[in-house]
Structure 1
Amino acid sequence: MTAGRWLLWLVLALPGAWMLGPWGFTPDAYGYGHAIADSGDWAAWLLMATLAVTPVRLLFKRARWTAWLARRRRDLGVASFAYAAGHTAVYLWKKGSLAQVVAELSDTYLVAGWLALALFLPLAITSNDASMRALKRKWKTLHRLVYPAAILTFLHWIWSAFDPTTAWIHAGVLAAIETARIVLQRRGKPRRG
């Protein structure tokens, strides 16, 4: 791993350290509510950053930094999954028993969250060079699961929020990112005459 990649991972880990510190040292002040919200926020923000790489690369084709960003897209995606896994771990810790987790599976927002996590798991596991070589063309097909997983992530956020305004704003940003990606990809395709 290059020094630049180590630095990127250090930066990506900082929000997690910021969450664990206050929760460990001042659990009464920070607590479960902050830990679950902050880990979910970072998972969603990094997911949006991951999905924004393609439209940014298509928009600024000649810029060198977009090539670096494209090479680091998998790192952003894995970091997003790590925060989502942390979000899930905090939830499971709070519930304390499998029976309580199963009892809550009828809640729509939890079903959306579990389905999103299930879709993200194979993406995180295969976000490495060895998997890309082994899966070849199937790798790209598999990683298209990020789109339904993103929709489920934002539905989970909207349906679970006390005030869903912020979640709706972020869902709008995600929709803008995806619209830009589709438009820019279609514009870049050669026309058949």
Structure 2
Amino acid sequence: MQFLRSRPFLWLTLALPAIWIGWRWVMTPDLYGYGHAIGDTGDWAAWLLMVTLAVTPVRLLFRKSPWAIWLLRRRRDLGVASFAYAAAHTAIYLWHKGAFQPVLEEAGNSDMLTGWLALALFIPLAITSNDKAVRAMKRSWKKLHRLVYPAAVLMFVHWVLASFDPTTAWIHIGIMAAIEIVKIAIQQRQRVT
């Protein structure tokens, strides 16, 4: 039972979608090609980011619940996993382009620019998502990690602009907005009482 709550088990669980994506791409490249792989890695990056951002309202609503406390302690792991899927998404895109020139030509397009900017904001967050960085940076760590909000906005705008059908992206933006509204409402209520 202890292993099921451990960090290695969490990382194994978080890696399973990547293993599945890779296996399907290698084993059935005609059915599951570039489009599926880049879409699925992007989806997992967004879903894990949403879970990461949902930790705060969950913690505020269920303060003493063991699962909420566990989730709070693993929030950085979830954020790093989101970044790992975003990095895989980027690596697949770069592999598909095959050369620097086409990447550079597309970089200024609004769909690609928002993706690159989101990734640029996520990099320092991923690098500093460890205990050593938290101790070294002290209060500055929390300020830096507020970059997750503009990074999330850029990520979802990238999804809307780069998608063939942005309906799913808009649904996720609605869910993300609801998470933030709930968080703000809970924080306001707790300040008043």
Fold match (TM-score > 0.5): yes
Shift of 1:112: 0.2
Are 1:5 and 2:7 an aligned pair? yes
> Given the alignment of the two structures, is residue 154 of structure 1 paired with residue 150 of structure 2, yes or no?
no
Q: Alpha-carbon deviations, 1:116-160, whole Å to 9, x = none?
A: 000000000000000000000000000000000000000000111
**2:118 maps to which residue?**
116
Output the TM-score relative to the length of structure 2: 0.96
**Residue 51 of structure 1: which of 50, 53, 61 is its match?**
53
Taking the TM superposition and a 5 Å limit, the aligned residue runs for 1:175-190 are 175-189=177-191
Residue 47 of structure 1, CA deviation: 0.2
For the residues of structure 2 that align with 1:188 and 1:95, how far apart are their CA atoms?
A: 50
In the alignment, what sits opposite 1:32?
34
Q: Distance in 2 between matches of 1:181 and 1:124?
A: 23
In the TM superposition, what is the alpha-carbon distance from 1:177 to its structure 2 partner?
A: 0.5
Q: Out of 7, 16, 19, which is 1:17 matched to?
A: 19
Q: Pairwise CA RMSD of aligned residues?
A: 1.1
Q: Is the counterpart of residue 85 in structure 1 residue 87 in structure 2?
A: yes
Q: CA–CA distance in 1 between the matches of 2:12 and 2:140?
A: 31
Q: Deviations over 1:2-45 (max 9, x none)?
A: 84111100000000000000111221111000000000000000
Distance 1:31 1:94 in 2: 11
Inter-partner Cα distance in structure 2 for 1:16 and 1:38: 9
Equivalent AA in structure 2 for residue 151 of structure 1: V
Secondary structure of 1:189's match?
A: helix
For 1:95, the equivalent position in structure 2 comes to 97
Tell me the equivalent position of 1:164: 166
Name the CA distance, whole Å, in 1 between partners of 2:192 and 2:137: 27
Return the TM-score normalized by structure 1: 0.96
SS across alignment from 1:110: helix
Q: Which residue of 2 aligns with 1:125?
A: 127
1:140 aligns with 2:142: yes
The alpha-carbon deviation at position 190 of structure 1 amounts to 5.6
Cα deviation, 1:43-63, whole Å, max 9, x if unaligned, reads 000000000000011011221
1:70-126 per-residue CA deviation (whole Å, 9 max, x = no partner) reads 000000000000000000000000001111100112210100000000000000000
Aligned to 1:173: 175
Identity %: 64
The answer for unaligned runs of 5 or more in structure 2 is none
Matching of residues 59-74 of structure 1 within 5 Å: 59-74=61-76
For residue 135 of structure 2, what is the amino acid of its counterpart? Answer: R
Q: Structure 2: which amino acid aligns with 1:33?
A: G
Equivalenced residues, count: 190
